Structure 1
Amino acid sequence: MQAIKLFVLPLLATAIVMTGCASRKPVNVAEAGQNPSTSTTVNTEGLSEDAALNAQNLAGASSKGVTAANKAFLAKRVVHFDYDSSELSNDDIQTLQAHAQFLMANANSRVALTGHTDERGTREYNMALGERRAKAVESFLVTTGVNANQLEAVSYGKEMPINAGHDENAWKENRRVEINYEAVPPLLK
Structure 2
Amino acid sequence: MKKIFAVLVVCMLSACASDNAQQTSDVEDHSYGSEGEGARGGAGSGGFGMNPLQDPNNILSRRSVYFDFDSYAVKGEYRELVLAHAAYLRDNPNAQVLLQGNTDERGSREYNLALGQRRANSVKDVLLLSGARDQQVEAVSLGEEKPRALGNDESAWSENRRTDILYQGEY
Give the TM-score normalised by the residue count of structure 1: 0.61
CA contact (8 A) 2:89 2:131 kept: no
Q: Distance in 1 between matches of 2:149 and 2:117?
A: 20
1:183, CA displacement in angstroms? 5.1
CA contact (8 A) 1:109 1:183 kept: no
Is 1:79 aligned to 2:65, yes or no?
A: yes
* Letter matched to residue 91 of structure 2: A
Task: Point out where structure 1 has 5 or more consecutive residues left out of the alignment.
Answer: 1-62, 185-189
- The C-alpha deviation readout for 1:40-83, integer Å capped at 9, x for no partner, is xxxxxxxxxxxxxxxxxxxxxxx743567x95311100000000
1:93, CA displacement in angstroms? 0.5
Q: How does 1:62-101 map to 2 (within 5 A)?
A: 64-65=43-44, 72-101=58-87
* Letter matched to residue 144 of structure 1: S
Q: Distance in 2 between matches of 1:67 and 1:100?
A: 15
CA contact (8 A) 2:100 2:141 kept: yes
CA contact (8 A) 2:89 2:132 kept: yes
Give the TM-score normalised by the residue count of structure 2: 0.67
Q: Distance in 1 between matches of 2:113 and 2:137?
A: 19
1:145, CA displacement in angstroms? 1.4
Point out which structure has higher relative CO (alpha carbons under 8 A, 6+ apart).
1
CA RMSD of aligned residues (A): 2.1
Higher Cα Rg: structure 1 or 2?
A: 1
* Letter matched to residue 79 of structure 2: I
CA contact (8 A) 1:116 1:157 kept: yes
Task: Point out where structure 2 has 5 or more consecutive residues left out of the alignment.
Answer: 1-41, 48-52
Give the percent of matched residue pairs that are identical in Structure 1 and Structure 2: 45
* Letter matched to residue 115 of structure 1: G
Aligned residue for 2:134?
Answer: 148
CA contact (8 A) 1:110 1:183 kept: no
